[in-house]
């Protein structure tokens, strides 16, 4: 079992979600039956080790976690205590193979706790957080085990190892060092205490985010107040109200971001204001879901851990393992973009204010007006209404004739839907993926719809990672949060949702094309500021003419999207980029501001909001009309795997924009281009240095100019 996954489980704890339908059976006889029939205790017998979702119940998780940790620890002790001299095979590779049961249960558990939650699963998650933290510490702070790893590391150049094996040795050694293996016994005990407390707090934070986003859904009494929304959106709001026993009313659910989709369409300004202020208040309203104290304590504990490990702050500790390497490098990149982004945003705000005045409005532009008047300016400037696109963007058509079509054209892979494999929720679909020669590449799950039990946003995860060592092929999932239409209605997407679908499938390709020996390096096991790069590249095919004309057809008539409408889509690519860049940079700069603090500088919970305000002013991105994409009290990214890492999207976009330029210069959607991208980059996972992999593909260092051109920042 790869050690990256042990700590990775803890990173997953911030992801909100759930699992199978719970049962209430609790007798001793039932517990014995669960133990003997627990589907995690043996490898899944299904095709390609596909999870047995139809056999898994909540009662299976606790026993499987406990047994998995016990079995894993026995394996680790045997490795550490063996009399034979340490070798790659009997130590490093033995650890790669260890922990199979724990790997199985944790992979499924944390994948499903992001997709379909319930109270029982949340209870299990809270119980397991400190136990998994302690389990990880018990391994990575094992002195005898570390000495074996260190011995191999010191001899690595004399052992004649091939490149991937040598990198594996170096990564394992680095993981032990970064986990505190060189600390004194007293400091190790202090570190264990910090890790345990953080695991609990991070879980509490993430659970509060999900509970509050559901609890704060906005209730509307009159249909008249929903003027501007489509009939389908109004019906969906009515259905949501009915599901909450609020018949005759309408409920607008919240997304995880600061901005909320209905604000682009609602003509009722007072309702827009109510939605927006409700969204921004999350985590700081007082009451059961207030996250200010939890956040402050997590930030302080991270800073204390960093100093215990010899770093100035958590950002320095976290970034050392990324391509950016230092806080200064991140600060310079973000600060170089911020003034240009804000200048563009101020021009856009002036345009919106002029539109307000032109329509007879006497009020000053506010943050809850931005999306609404942006659409008006877009329509005026380009004679274009984003709503015109939706009839041409039916979800299944976008998936199969857009996303899959582009992958077939570029890489030669094909897809066949399967109905014989069990799924964890009725809307989930499964596809078998084939190479051009007919050989099986992977299984792909698509989970497209939003639901109250599913965390917000969009993401990819691997249920089974590719590995030659273990003889496994990838089982990969994509998740979106598209609003499910009423029964019998087509699922019509926004253009932003289409881009998201292409983006997430870029992650899926990274996972499916993985061709490495060791699980440690499989698929998206790359630095956090590199992982978004392939997914951002895949977005380009959404507007590639050959692809777009294949999927953008009217859901009723089958007619292609008119050429003039497509031209308007392309013409607006740089529109509103000042806003988009500023709200993103504000969140990224806030992340860095929090994580570049020393322990004594961390604000208390009551001071968090004031600190946020001051940090944005200091960074030069404080605009009342543009709040950060996430405020700190519901910023789930930085509680999980993106702590001091939210800058990754813009960092990766430098590589992405440069790669898009390469594709265009080399003929675009051509098989030879896809084969080159797959061979030199997508198949290699984390088996080599990330920037070296990029150079192997691109033939040159990354160039920032294409990014500046794309975002209108030049």
Q: Tell which residue, 339, 365, 343, has the closest CA to residue 354.
A: 365
Q: Tell which residue, 597, 583, 547, 543, has the closest CA to residue 565.
A: 543
Spatial distance between the Cα atoms of 335 and 24, rounded to a whole number of angstroms: 54
- At 261, give phi and psi (nearest 5°): -50, -40
Spatial distance between the Cα atoms of 396 and 484, rounded to a whole number of angstroms: 13
Spatial distance between the Cα atoms of 88 and 73, rounded to a whole number of angstroms: 19
The terminus-to-terminus CA distance of the chain in angstroms comes to 47
Q: Which residue has the tokens 């609020």?
A: 246
DSSP 156: T
- Number of Cβ within 10 Å of residue 437's Cβ equals 6
- Number of Cβ within 10 Å of residue 297's Cβ equals 19
Q: Tell which residue, 475, 608, 528, has the closest CA to residue 11.
A: 528
Q: Which residue has the tokens 């963007």?
A: 393
Name the active-site residue from 164, 212, 497, 504. 504
- At 208, give phi and psi (nearest 5°): -60, -40
- At 323, give phi and psi (nearest 5°): -70, -25
504 is catalytic: yes
CA torsion angle for 600, 602, 604, 610 (degrees, to 10)?
130
Spatial distance between the Cα atoms of 245 and 226, rounded to a whole number of angstroms: 20
DSSP-assigned states of every residue in 159-204: TT--HHHHHHHHHHHHHHHHTTTTS-HHHHHHHHHHHHHHHHHHHH
What token pair was written down for 461? 């995860």
Classify residue 527 by burial, with Cβ atoms within 10 Å: 0-12, 13-18, 19+. buried
Spatial distance between the Cα atoms of 231 and 224, rounded to a whole number of angstroms: 12
Spatial distance between the Cα atoms of 651 and 585, rounded to a whole number of angstroms: 11
Q: Tell which residue, 692, 690, 703, has the closest CA to residue 662.
A: 703
Active site residues: 504
């Amino acid at each position: 079992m790869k050690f990256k996954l042990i700590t990775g489980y803890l990173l997953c704890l911030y992801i909100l979600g759930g699992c199978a339908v719970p049962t209430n059976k609790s007798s001793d006889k039932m517990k014995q039956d669960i133990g003997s029939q627990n589907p995690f205790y043996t490898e899944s017998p299904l095709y390609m080790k596909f999870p047995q979702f139809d056999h898994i119940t909540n009662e299976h998780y606790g026993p499987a976690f406990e047994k998995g940790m016990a079995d894993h620890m026995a394996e680790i002790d045997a490795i550490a205590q063996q009399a034979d001299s340490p070798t790659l095979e009997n130590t490093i590779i033995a650890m790669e193979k260890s922990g199979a049961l724990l790997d199985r249960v944790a992979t499924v558990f944390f994948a499903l706790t992001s997709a379909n939650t319930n109270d029982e699963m949340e209870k299990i998650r809270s119980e397991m957080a400190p136990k998994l933290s302690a389990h990880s510490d018990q391994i990575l702070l094992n002195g005898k085990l570390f000495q074996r790893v260190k011995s191999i590391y010191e001899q690595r150049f004399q052992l004649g190892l091939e490149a991937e094996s040598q990198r594996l040795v170096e990564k394992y050694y680095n993981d032990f060092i970064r986990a505190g293996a060189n600390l004194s016994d007293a400091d190790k005990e202090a570190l264990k205490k910090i890790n345990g407390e953080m695991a609990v707090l991070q879980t509490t934070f993430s659970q509060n985010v999900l509970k509050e986003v559901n609890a704060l859904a906005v209730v509307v009494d009159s249909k008249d107040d929903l003027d501007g929304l489509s009939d389908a959106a109004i019906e969906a709001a009515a259905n949501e109200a009915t599901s909450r026993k609020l018949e005759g009313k309408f409920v607008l659910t919240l997304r995880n971001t600061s901005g909320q989709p209905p604000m682009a369409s609602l003509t009722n300004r007072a309702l827009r204001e109510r939605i927006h202020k409700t969204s921004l208040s999350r985590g700081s309203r007082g009451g059961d879901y207030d996250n200010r104290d939890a956040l402050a304590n997590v930030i302080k504990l991270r800073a204390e851990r960093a100093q215990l490990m010899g770093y100035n702050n958590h950002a320095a500790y976290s970034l050392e393992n990324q391509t950016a390497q230092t806080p200064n490098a991140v600060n310079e990149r973000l600060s170089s973009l911020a003034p240009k982004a804000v200048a563009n945003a101020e021009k856009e705000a002036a345009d919106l204010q002029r539109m307000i005045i032109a329509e007879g409005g006497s009020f000053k532009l506010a943050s809850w007006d931005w999306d609404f008047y942006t659409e008006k300016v877009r329509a005026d400037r380009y004679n274009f209404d984003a709503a015109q696109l939706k009839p041409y963007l039916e979800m299944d058509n976008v998936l199969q004739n857009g996303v899959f079509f582009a992958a077939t054209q570029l890489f030669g892979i094909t897809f066949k839907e399967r109905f014989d494999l069990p799924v964890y929720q009725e809307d989930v679909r499964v596809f078998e993926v084939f190479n051009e020669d007919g050989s099986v590449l992977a299984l792909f799950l698509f989970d497209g719809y939003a639901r109250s039990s599913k965390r917000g946003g969009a993401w990819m995860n691997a249920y089974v990672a590719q590995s030659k060592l273990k003889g496994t092929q990838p089982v990969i999932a994509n998740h979106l949060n598209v609003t499910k239409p009423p029964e019998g209605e087509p699922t019509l997407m926004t253009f932003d949702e289409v881009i998201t679908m292409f983006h997430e499938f870029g992650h899926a390709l990274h996972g499916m094309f993985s061709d490495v020996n060791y699980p440690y390096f499989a698929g998206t096991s790359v630095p956090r500021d590199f992982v978004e790069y392939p997914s951002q590249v895949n977005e380009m095919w959404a507007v590639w003419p050959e692809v777009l004309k294949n999927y953008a057809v009217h859901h009723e008539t089958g007619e292609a999207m008119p050429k003039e409408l497509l031209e308007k889509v392309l013409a607006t690519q740089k529109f509103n980029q000042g806003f988009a860049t500023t709200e993103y940079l504000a969140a990224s700069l806030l992340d860095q501001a929090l994580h570049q603090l020393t322990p004594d500088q961390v604000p208390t919970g009551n001071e968090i909001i004031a600190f946020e305000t001051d940090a944005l002013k200091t960074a030069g991105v404080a605009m009342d009309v543009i709040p950060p994409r996430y405020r700190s009290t519901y910023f789930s990214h930085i509680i999980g795997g993106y702590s001091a890492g939210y800058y990754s999207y813009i960092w990766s976009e430098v590589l992405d924009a440069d790669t898009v330029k390469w594709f265009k210069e080399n003929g675009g959607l051509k098989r030879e281009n896809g084969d080159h991208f797959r061979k030199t980059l997508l198949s290699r996972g984390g088996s080599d240095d990330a920037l070296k992999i990029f150079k192997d593909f691109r033939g040159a260092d990354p160039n920032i100019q294409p990014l500046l051109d794309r975002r209108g920042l030049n």
